Amino acid sequence: MELSAARLCVSLLSLFAGLTSGLEITSSSASTPTEVASGQSVKLDCQFTLASEDSGPLDIEWSLVASDNQKDDQVIILYSGDRAYEDYDTPVKGRVHFNSPDPKNGDASINVLTVKSTDTGTYQCKVKKAPGVRNKKMQLLVMEKPSKPRCYTEGSTHEGKDVVLRCTSDAGSKPMKYSWEKTTGSKVLPASSVLDPVSGTVNVKNASASASGTYRCTATNRVGAEQCVLDLSVTAIPNTAGIVAGSIIAVLLILLIIAIILFCFCRARNRKKYEKEICNEIREDVPPPKSRASTARSFTVASQRSSLGSMSPSNLHEYALKPQYDKIPSSEEYDRPPSQAPVLPPSAGKMAGYNLSRMGGIPVMVPAQTRDGSIV
């Protein structure tokens, strides 16, 4: 009970002091927040007047009111003893200054430079000159202006179709509105179009060639605006049947070319394989080469067989009685070097030729050889 009475007394004393003192803050309190675009500077106004009875030292204090009642307010700048104190560790450190070089003249306003979105909040200006004390609160709202929007179309751009013109800004504080205008031709939107300023779309229904042209979209909020431009071209519906027929013909031609290439490749491959098999067959039919000794032996054997074939039974007895040199030489005699070959008498050669003629054989002249085997 005593504590409540003490608080009531303090409140009454403060009220009485305020009524009797002449200190007043003349700046009107704004009912709406002070809006500013991000990156710009803003002035927070705080004008005051003094009276003769306000004889104490002048103190001006600007603070950022805490959004949570459990936290203390942050002092951002102070004027006391004819000196300004700005080096407070706050989000606006280095960016806040008094508007007047001498605030004693009644201007306690401050300037906040290059504001950021984090600077949004409630600021309080408190002027004290005993016995007078006055304060004023104001709300600062830092907004971002719209980013440059993107303009594009959705849907078909052929005649008789519905075309949607869309405008979108990726950044910017709400609320944001979009507006469209045509900058060429009649400079008015098509009669069949429907504009939605919130979503930023223009739906052109049953579009015709007259809807073609250049369009401009503007994205706007309370702190700025940005624009983009779109060129719309509404064309006639293409001949899809001709396109399909042309595509089919092109595909068939490609398949035909591929088939011809494969056919030529297979044919060339088979021809090469056939020629290779023919060459192998010819090589298999060719007999291996014979040596000189086997060739001579074959010739002599063939001659003797021919002679024997022409003999009659009456001549067999004479053939059996012929000398030893009329026999077919053996392989050892052919392999014997010329210096060791047997020397036949001249009469033996004549008798052999006579007997061959008598039996129907054809005599063959054998060149004479010397003792060392050379031909005469």
Q: What does the domain layout of the chain look like in residue ranges?
A: 22-141, 148-230
| CATH class of residue range 148-230 | mainly beta
Residue-level pLDDT at 285? 52
At 28 the pLDDT is 82
Long-range contacts of range 261-268, CB-CB < 8 Å, 24 or more positions apart?
none
Predicted TM-score (pTM) of the model is: 0.52
pLDDT in tens, 129-179: 988 899 999 999 999 999 999 999 998 889 989 999 999 999 999 999 999
Give the pLDDT score at 322: 47
Spatial CB neighbours of 33, under 8 Å, sequence gap ≥ 6: 139, 140, 141
Q: Homologous superfamily of 22-141 in CATH?
A: Immunoglobulins (2.60.40.10)
* Residues 109 and 100: beta-carbon distance below 8 Å: yes
Which pLDDT score is estimated for 284?
Answer: 52
Q: What is the pLDDT of residue 70?
A: 77
Q: Checking phi first, is residue 339 left (phi over 0); if not, alpha (psi -120 to 50) or beta?
A: alpha
Q: Say what the pLDDT of residue 275 is.
A: 77
pLDDT at 345: 52
Burial class (CB in 10 A: 0-12, 13-18, 19+), 345: exposed
What is the reported pLDDT for 320? 44
C-alpha 186/C-alpha 77 separation (Å) is 58
Low-confidence ranges of the chain (pLDDT < 50): 1-20, 293-314, 316-327, 331-332, 334-335, 338-342, 344, 347-351, 354, 356
- Could you check whether 22-141 and 148-230 share the same CATH topology? yes
